[in-house]
Structure 1
Amino acid sequence: MQGYNAYRKAQGATAVQNGRDLEYRLLAQVTGALIRARDGVVSLQEKLNAILKNEKVWTVFLADLNHPDNGLPRELKAGIASLALWVMRETRLVIDTDAPLDDLILINRQIMAGLKPEPAAMAG
């Protein structure tokens, strides 16, 4: 899918990854950045970059739901779309009011739990 291929290229991944593994790794990267931002170990610019990168990942997920190759069930697509829209609203709230990042981190972690690759997939 287009979004996956763009991120694979940007990530410099050499091993073939399936969509779930790539989504997991992307969410792990942005969630790690959000955690560092929450814990105050980064500059304000790095915090904003982490927040906006997280939003961009969710924007790609949302766009991918409409791709013809996306074979997810309709109900799952609707649920992911709803989460993506929530992430976008929450991102604006965080930026505008300096609200905590905990809810964005929690959503990412919950999705990661559902995507978690099998140990053999992580070795590749």
Structure 2
Amino acid sequence: MSYGASAYARVAQTALSPREAEAAVLLKAAGRLQAIQSDWINQAPALNEALNFNQKVWTIIAGAATAPESPLPAEIKTSIAELSTFIFKRMIDTLIEPSAEKLTALISINQNIAAGLRQ
């Protein structure tokens, strides 16, 4: 990447709001999973790394959203906790019995949450 493009990328990253940053990370995780799903035969070896990244993203989201000091309403906290539980179970299931189809829900959730954060 050229020096100018690198500088622009750094400025763009610092200019993101927290919601935009969360959306960008969710889309990055979704993109990794989508790339593996789209080229399953060649990309399946990268599955563990992509799921690990997704797990880190959702651990941070779930922790921040459900923390006692979080300003979110109780029902939103509960919904995020339940969604996170589903995501973690799906990731474990995918690790145990890998299948490209199992990534669809993870990709869709990440993309939809990111879309909501960008509104």
TM-score (ref. length: structure 2): 0.77
What's 2:4 paired with? none
The one-letter amino acid of 1:75's match is E
State whether residues 66 and 80 of structure 2, in contact with CA within 8 Å, keep that contact through their aligned partners in structure 1.
no
Please, what is the CA RMSD of the aligned residues?
2.2
**Hey, what's the Cα distance between the residues in 2 that align with 1:23 and 1:14?**
11
- Structure 2: gaps of 5 or more residues: 1-9
The one-letter amino acid of 1:73's match is P
CA, structure 1 residues 12+88, in 2 after alignment: closer, same or farther (shift >3 Å)? farther
**Hey, what's the Cα distance between the residues in 2 that align with 1:30 and 1:22?**
12
Shift of 1:16: 3.9
What's 1:89 paired with? 89
Aligned pairs for 1:22-33 (under 5 A) are 22-33=21-32
The one-letter amino acid of 1:72's match is L
Whose helix fraction is larger, Structure 1's or Structure 2's? 2
- Structure 1: gaps of 5 or more residues: 1-10, 118-124
Aligned pairs for 1:66-85 (under 5 A) are 66-85=66-85
| Structure 1 runs of 4+ with >6 Å offset | none
What's 2:34 paired with? 35
TM-score (ref. length: structure 1): 0.75
What's 1:21 paired with? 20
- Asked if 1:101 is matched to 2:100, the reply is no
Shift of 1:47: 2.0
Shift of 1:17: 3.0
Q: If you compute each CA radius of gyration, which structure gives the higher value, 1 or 2? A: 2
Shift of 1:78: 0.9
